[in-house]
């Protein structure tokens, strides 16, 4: 038995080509040189993607690469966070994918409702803890819930990702750069990508389609009812991303959006290939180590 992801042929998944096209490439290429020639004929971008991920894995196998790959996919429901995370997981051979919904559910099981009602509320209802409904209170509620999520999420990333060197993909709604430790945000392995959708009807249809692919027992009607609030949250997310010069990708056209994301992540991996390691101190890692010594 040959394990798919332990085989060097899996580097071709990073090209973004369909599986049938990859199968044909492998069938007619008797050497890596022939494979590269065939990729170049299909398009330079496919060869470039292949070479970048091949170099990263070669460096890892030789013990020369110590930097993990940690894309963080951010967006409101229906933008495709989960789907994009799955596609990146396959393309880059990253086995660990962490979803915000699962993380929030876990936090809710640990933190009693009486101790933190904001966490136990739907994000579009958190404005109620700040007075009458207004856009300002909606964002205050979102930021309050995000603070809890980001506290836990960045500790997990710092510990398992940066300290241990484990690649992972994180997808969630609550990523706010102002709530992330600056030295962690500046780490070359951390690759935040904010998804943006501008068409409300398109978003409604995508939310409905989730019942066929991921949320099999959730019609999404509750989210559709609150879609205007989600668009206000998205506007705030993107404004904060712009302040921090983070990557924003429009996903009205999902295929084009994913192509842009794949190219951006691979561009960042190319930089990681050149760097190989990063020795600047990460305060959050020091805090975690000290907590465990206590």
Q: Which domain holds residue 7?
A: 1-65
E strands along 75-128, which residues? 97-99
Check whether 1 has a pLDDT greater than 50.
no
Q: What is the pLDDT of residue 162?
A: 95
Choose one of 10, 45, 65: the last residue of a domain: 65
What distance in Å separates the CA atoms of residue 228 and residue 24, rounded to the nearest whole number?
46
Q: Which of 231, 230, 263 is closest to 247 using CA atoms?
A: 263
Q: Which residues pair with 247 in a beta bridge?
A: 193
In a shared domain, residues 61 and 80: no
Q: Is the pLDDT of residue 2 over 60?
A: no
Whether the CB-CB separation of 92 and 292 falls below 8 Å is answered with no
What are the b/e assignments for 45-78, b being 16+ CB within 10 Å? bbbbbbbbbbbbbebbeeeebebbbbbbbbbbbb
Rounded to the nearest 10 degrees, the angle between the axes of helix 135-156 and helix 227-243 is 60
Pick 245 or 2 by higher pLDDT: 245
pLDDT tens string 67-122: 999 999 999 999 999 999 999 999 999 999 999 999 999 999 999 898 899 999 99
Q: Which of 16, 33, 65 is the last residue of a domain?
A: 65
CATH number at residue 136: 3.40.50.300
Give tens-digit pLDDT for 67-82: 999 999 999 999 999 9
In terms of domains, do 123 and 20 share one? no
Contact in structure between 276 and 65 (CB atoms under 8 Å): yes
Indicate the pLDDT class of residue 221, thresholds 50, 70 and 90: confident
Q: What is the model's pLDDT at position 267?
A: 98
Q: pLDDT at residue 216 above 60?
A: no
Q: Tell the residue number behind the tokens 């996903």, with chain if given.
A: 251
- Residue 278's contacts (CB-CB under 8 Å, 6 or more residues apart) are 66, 67, 187, 188, 189
Are 166 and 275 part of one and the same domain? yes
Average pLDDT over the chain reads: 92
Contact 149, 105 (CB under 8 A): no
Residue ending a domain, choose from 20, 40, 65: 65
Percent of the chain residues topping a pLDDT of 90: 81
Task: Specify the pLDDT at position 215.
Answer: 62
| 120 and 41 belong to one structural domain | no
**Total domains present in the chain:** 2
User: In this predicted structure, what is the pLDDT of residue 294?
Assistant: 65
């Amino acid at each position: 038995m040959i394990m798919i992801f332990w085989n060097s042929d899996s580097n071709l998944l990073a090209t973004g080509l369909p599986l049938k096209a990859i199968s044909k490439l492998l069938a007619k290429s008797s050497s890596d040189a022939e494979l590269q020639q065939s990729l170049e004929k299909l398009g330079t971008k496919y060869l470039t993607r292949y070479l970048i991920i091949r170099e990263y894995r070669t460096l890892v196998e030789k013990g020369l690469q110590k930097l993990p790959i940690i894309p963080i996919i951010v967006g409101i429901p229906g933008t495709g966070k989960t789907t994009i995370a799955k596609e990146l997981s396959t393309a880059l051979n990253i086995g660990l994918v962490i979803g915000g919904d699962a993380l929030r559910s876990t936090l809710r099981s640990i933190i009693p409702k009486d101790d933190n009602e904001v966490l136990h509320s739907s994000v579009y209802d958190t404005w109620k803890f700040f007075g009458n409904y207004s856009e300002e209170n909606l964002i205050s509620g979102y930021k309050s819930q995000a603070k809890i999520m980001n506290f836990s999420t960045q500790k997990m990333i710092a510990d398992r990702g940066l300290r241990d060197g484990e690649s992972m993909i994180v997808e969630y709604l609550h990523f706010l750069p102002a709530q992330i430790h600056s030295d962690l945000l500046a780490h070359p392995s951390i690759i935040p990508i904010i998804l943006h959708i501008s068409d409300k009807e398109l978003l409604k249809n995508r939310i409905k389609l989730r019942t066929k692919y991921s949320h099999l027992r959730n019609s999404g009607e509750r989210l559709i009812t609150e879609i205007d609030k989600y668009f206000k949250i998205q506007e705030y997310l993107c404004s904060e991303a712009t302040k921090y010069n983070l990557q924003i990708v429009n996903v009205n056209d999902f295929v084009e959006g994913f192509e842009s994301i794949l190219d951006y992540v691979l561009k960042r991996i190319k930089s990681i290939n050149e760097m190989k390691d990063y020795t600047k101190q990460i305060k959050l890692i020091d805090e975690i180590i000290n907590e465990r010594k206590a």
